Structure 1
Amino acid sequence: MGHTVMDNHIDFDRSWITVMCRATRFHITISRKDIQRSSFEMEYSEMVVKAIVDHDGEDFDVLCEWMVNPCLSYFRENTSNVSKEKELTFQDYYYPSTHHLKLLVSESLLYPKATRDRGTMDPFYYMTPSADLPPFPSIPRSKASDLRIVSDPKWDDYMSEIPQKAIIADGTLRFFKPADKKTQLEREVDMHLLIRDAGLQDKIKVPNLHSIVVSDDGKMTIGLLLDLIPSGGDSLSLYSYQHSEAALEHRARWKQQVTDTVKQLHAHDLVWGDVHPGNSHRHRLQRLDCRFWRRVGREVRSAQEGGDEGRGLAWAWEDIR
């Protein structure tokens, strides 16, 4: 059953995970005191040790699945009324119905029990308070309930993962980027405004910023809505390209395009400090830049030297692949 761990806290005495499954949120908590003197106590402790060391790695995933597995039947029972054909809005996804569960032991079984204890769940983990952001008066706002999630009747994981695309009122498809990091969102909006003010929108291939997505009450900023760049015939990821002959043919052209774009940005004192790799329909600069900006030193990541260094790393990677 498709599900995604959205947030978590792992500790010896008490751990919790927040899971999305079929547009429904489940907050699962386990306390060591509730499993003491059972066969699960040692198992849990051992997994926590590994998960803390390997957070966001395989051992972390093992612990999360260990907590989710006893709850799967509860998930099915409480999402049975959610149809794959149901039209979901971004408001539905970001403000879902929520079930709070705690894991207990009955004989040799670990099972979930519904509880009113909301624990430490952060319902706004993937959002940013609008009051904490600059007003950006020149950028339109889109209400979350006016945006529809692209559905897939044959696959329900689209209701468990953060959407990457949105359908606006006139049926146009847009690329959605979540506002889970405040400083990153501010930096990206600022960069789009600077590119527009410098008259570079038609000269470099950067998706136009369509609007800022907010909750229906406007209190929370959910993300950015950008033009979705259609994929061309050669629109493949670097991962797909790295073992193909096409990479050799495109390398020189890509290198020149990226170099020219970076020079144009630097000529206007602009540094593209953040490109999101999630947009599968992205331009060539994004395809290259998104793999390398994280490797640039933190002290120069947002500076011009960072752009030059990132560009150099891209070509070095190509040369040794």
Structure 2
Amino acid sequence: MSHTVIDSHIELDSSWVTVMCRATRFHITVSHRDIRRSRFVTEYSEMVAKAMDDDDEEDHDVLCEWIVDPCLPYFRESTLNVPKEITFEDFYYPPTHHLKLLVSGSSLCPKATRDRGTMNAFRLMIPSGDLPPFSEVPRSKASDLRIISDTKWDDYKSEIPQKAIISDGTSRFFKPADDKKQLLREVDMHLRIRHAGLQDKIKVANLHSIVVSDDAKMTIGLLFDLIPSTGDSLYSHKNSASAAEHHARWKQQVTATVKQLHSHDLVWGDVHPGNIVIDTSLNAWVVDFGGGFIVEFVPRKKAGTKDGDWQGVGKIFDEWMFEKHAFLVPKERGCPL
């Protein structure tokens, strides 16, 4: 059953995970004390040890799924009447079930329990009072935004949304407020792009609005104009016929965008193939001004600098595009497609 782990805490004495499944939140706890006399205690202890010494998070993910799996029937029974049309308010302020895993015969089974105060209900949000007012940027209320539904696929109710339908029926790209520093840089960069008069001169998706809870106390994310695209970043065009045909064009377009940014003392920052989007007319757009870097493309010491931007562009178009095997695609939420 489709679900997404949105938060977790791992310790030997007690571990918990918070899961979204069909617009419903489940907070699941497993205690060493509750399983200590069962065959599960050894398995649990070994997985915790691996997860706590896990750099790539694979063992962490294995433990999370071990905790979640016994709860899937409970998820199914608890989400039978979820409406197909849900808003961002529905997703970010969902009904919540608190569960603990107990041993029943030869199995682990979930049991409903009280809220023990371990869950961070605002894990995916930032208090609006912690942010500048950004008075130039409109606000969109979460209840006015619908998540794009898919009658054949329930993941849209379980995963953090990537697109929103606004009140006029059109769609926008959604970027969640899961990192305060990145959100601040993203908004600041788009305001500076606007003030520099570059909005209609460079291929960058415009900032549409800031998404807030209905009481405006929490900031949920940002909305951007959609790029007319099938969903492909440059990673999808690696070693393709279109890459061979349009390489020079894409390099020229990205180079022109970066030159325009630099001429106004603006730095792109997170230069890598996943942040170059190819639209339906096979033009290259630049996305993501939240900062960060991938060392395969921008050296750590050059991150956030103009030199870093140029090293990243050169790495992509003069080396990476011609390699037979691309670097692994980083975990990312996507682009304004």
Q: TM-score if structure 1 supplies the norm length?
A: 0.92
Q: Identity over aligned residues, as a percent?
A: 67
More moved, 141-150 vs 48-57 = 48-57
CA contact (8 A) 1:293 1:310 kept: no
In structure 1, runs of 5+ residues without a counterpart are: none
Alignment of 1:198-217 (within 5 A): 198-217=196-215
Q: Is the 8 A contact 2:234 2:278 kept in 1?
A: no
- Out of 289, 296, 321, which is 1:318 matched to? 321
> What SS class does the counterpart of residue 25 from structure 1 fall into?
strand
The reply to whether residue 131 of structure 1 matches residue 129 of structure 2 is yes
User: Following TM superposition, by how much is the alpha carbon of 1:281 offset from its aligned partner in structure 2, in angstroms?
Assistant: 7.5
CA shift in 2, pair 1:279/1:308, >3 Å: closer
Tell me, yes or no, if structure 1 residue 12 matches structure 2 residue 12: yes
CA distance in 2 between partners of 1:224 and 1:109 (Å): 43
Q: How far apart are the structure 2 equivalents of 1:63 and 1:221?
A: 31
**Match of 1:100?**
98
Question: Does the aligned pair in 2 maintain the 1:2–1:21 contact within 8 Å?
Answer: yes
Q: Give secondary structure in 1 for the equivalent of 2:286.
A: helix
Query: Distance between the aligned counterparts of 1:97 and 1:113, measured in 2?
Result: 17
Q: Map of 1:120-199 to 2, 5 A cutoff?
A: 120-199=118-197
Aligned partner letter, 1:43: E
> Matched residues in 2 for 1:21 and 1:37: separation?
31
Structure 2 CA distance for partners of 1:275 and 1:5, relative to 1, 3 Å: farther
Q: Distance in 2 between matches of 1:259 and 1:288?
A: 16
Show the counterpart of 1:28.
Answer: 28
Given that 1:70 and 1:112 are in contact with CA atoms closer than 8 Å, whether structure 2 keeps it comes out as yes
Q: Quote how far apart the aligned CAs of 1:286 are.
A: 3.2
Name the structure with the higher helix share: 1
Q: CA deviation at 1:64?
A: 1.4
Distance 1:93 1:195, change over 3 A: same
Cα shift readout 1:63-118 (whole Å, capped 9, x = no counterpart): 111111110111111111114xx210100000000001111112211111111133
Change (3 A) 1:163 1:179: same
What is the alpha-carbon distance in structure 2 between the residues aligned to residue 302 and residue 15 of structure 1? 37
Deviation at 1:287, TM superposition (A): 7.3
**Counterpart residue number, 1:58:** 58
- 1:206 Cα deviation (Å)? 0.8
Name the CA shift for 1:57/1:272 in 2 (closer, same or farther; >3 Å): same
1:175–1:228 Cα contact (<8 Å) kept: yes
Are the equivalent residues in 2 in contact too, given 1:237–1:287 (CA < 8 A)?
Answer: no
Compared CA separation, residues 128 and 178, structure 1 to 2 (3 A): same
Residues in 2 aligned to 1:306 and 1:275: alpha-carbon distance in whole angstroms: 8
Partners of 1:280 and 1:23 lie apart in 2 by: 29
Give the RMSD, CA atoms, in angstroms: 2.4
**Are the aligned partners of 1:289 and 1:311 in contact in 2 as well (CA < 8 Å)?**
no
Task: Provide the rounded CA distance (Å) in 2 between the counterparts of 1:55 and 1:281.
Answer: 33
Q: Where in structure 2 are there 5+ consecutive unaligned residues?
A: 325-337
Pick the aligned partner of 1:270 from 266, 282, 307. Answer: 266
Total equivalences in the alignment? 316
Instruction: State whether residues 164 and 279 of structure 1, in contact with CA within 8 Å, keep that contact through their aligned partners in structure 2.
Output: no
Runs of 4+ in 1 over 4 A off after TM superposition: 274-283, 287-290
The whole-number CA distance in structure 1 between the counterparts of 2:210 and 2:240 is 38
Deviates more, 1:16-25 or 1:104-113: 104-113
Tell me: CA distance 1:137–1:188, structure 2 relative to 1, closer, same or farther (3 Å).
same
Partner in structure 1 of residue 236 of structure 2:
240
Look up the match of 1:303. 305
Describe the shift of the 1:148–1:7 C-alpha distance in structure 2 as closer, same or farther (beyond 3 A): same
| Cα offset, 1:53, TM superposition | 2.7
2:117 is the counterpart of 1:114:
no
Shift of 1:244: 1.7
